[in-house]
Amino acid sequence: MKYTLGISPCPNDVWAFAGLLSGAIRVPGIELAIELHDVQELNSALASGRYDFAKTSFLAALQLSSELVMLRSGSALGFGVGPILVGRAQPTRATKPHVLLPGPNTTAHLLFRLYGPSEATVEQVIFSDILPRLSAGSADMGVCIHEGRFVYQSLGLDLVLDLGARWEADAQAPLPLGGIAARRSVPAASMAAVDEAIRASLAWAQAHEAEALELCRRHAQELDEHVLRAHIELYVNAHTIDLGTIGVHALNILSERARAVGLVAAQTPPLLVRATLAPC
């Protein structure tokens, strides 16, 4: 069997898939072609049918729920992991700020819709362009994801709002950022095999830290060793190994919030999670 898998170049994804990327871990009976792309590119490619498996924003997964099943491993979910709204202390267009977002199908976009300023001019850009453009003064604010939360202060930017912290206070649940989706056309046995391989890949990274970190450096936007380690420690946790009942509960809440603001249509079916196939 041959399948395509898309992941992001962010340290937490590269770390989780380090065993598979290095060839140390293989999926029995399956040839997995892995590609690395920006998260919004992955969301769009998954919607177009390009991938059999892909890391996707949970908002995008909810929007495509009729076509997908979420794997139990490989997710980014937790407390203190949320996107942050950053900018200059004195924006040039204070009444209607120009805000950069990392993609219309990202969970960051949903959080901005929930908690960000209602009067704003929004522009969707690749996440890696947000901090450079804010630093250059071509926008007032931007929603930072991935490594951005660790380096924005070094660029003279200020924290405007911690969107993840607002979610935690509101939902009383960890924030589901993204996970590994499989197309429903993929046989259940193949989904299970890939799910187990991701767990094995995570275990390999823990046992081969130097090799896993070197893979992360090859693809990361920010190469500072401290930032890489901080990123991995924050985003790779017990929920990455298994989404678990807490993760499914958090997805239920995310689905409710997304439907409430119209980012997921009311008639969209529940998103399913593999193994238990628990609706969320």
Half-sphere exposure of 127 (CA within 13 A, CB side): 31
Residue 280 makes CB contacts below 8 A (sequence gap 6+) with 248, 249, 251, 252, 255, 270, 271, 272, 273
Report how far residue 127's alpha carbon sits from residue 144's, in angstroms, rounded to the nearest whole number.
7
Residue 50 DSSP class:
-
249 is catalytic: no
User: Can you tell me the distance from the alpha carbon of 104 to that of 123, in angstroms, rounded to the nearest whole number?
Assistant: 9
Residues 189, 190, 191, 192, CA torsion sign:
positive
What are the Cα distances from residue 96, in Å, to 126, 141, 156, 214?
A: 22, 11, 21, 43
Sheet holding 98-101, edge to edge: 121-124, 98-101, 141-144, 84-87, 158-162
- Reference 280, options 102, 62, 103; nearest CA is 62
What are 32's strand-pairing partners?
3
CB atoms within 10 A of CB 48: 8
Half-sphere exposure of residue 228, counting CA atoms within 13 Å on the CB side?
20
Which position among 109, 146, 231, 239 bears the catalytic label?
Answer: 146
Separation CA 271–CA 71 (nearest Å): 11
Cα 244–Cα 250–Cα 253 angle in degrees, nearest 5: 150
Catalytic residues: 146
